[in-house]
Amino acid sequence: MKIAFTSSSGETIDQHFGQSDSFQVWEVGPDEARFLETVRVGEHGGDEEDRIGARAKLLSDCAIVYTMQIGGPAAAKLVALKIHPMKTNTEVSLQETVERLQEVLRGNPPPWLKKAMNKGQAASFLED
């Protein structure tokens, strides 16, 4: 599944969702994880709601967004797009977060994570 991280360096989750100028997107599975791309955020409208909506749409193919902080309206926009927001509250290692997530995926993931893992599979099945 695709997961986005708010990171200024690509090494730590250290940005607020609404203030991050880019997102590190990874493909993460139980046994493999790899960096895919950096998604840059441009200027999108003059008000905060436009900016939040644009960020959420940029990440619409991601199942989870890990961020240090996120406000309620931004979290709600992500959830509406079936993206699960994960708030760390402090700076944490991106690589360690990926490794911990992989451990959970190899075990018995909670229902919300099982659902996130399946995001986009129906669409790709229809495209084949």
Distance CA 74, CA 94 (A): 21
Distance CA 5, CA 23 (A): 5
pLDDT digits (tens, 9 = 90+) for 7-60: 999 999 999 998 888 999 999 999 999 999 999 887 655 556 667 888 888 999
pLDDT digits (tens, 9 = 90+) for 93-107: 999 999 999 999 999
Distance CA 60, CA 83 (A): 7
| Global pTM value | 0.86
Distance CA 110, CA 98 (A): 16
> Going from the N-terminus, what domains does the chain have, and what CATH number goes with each?
2-127 (3.30.420.130)
Mean pLDDT score across all residues of the chain: 87
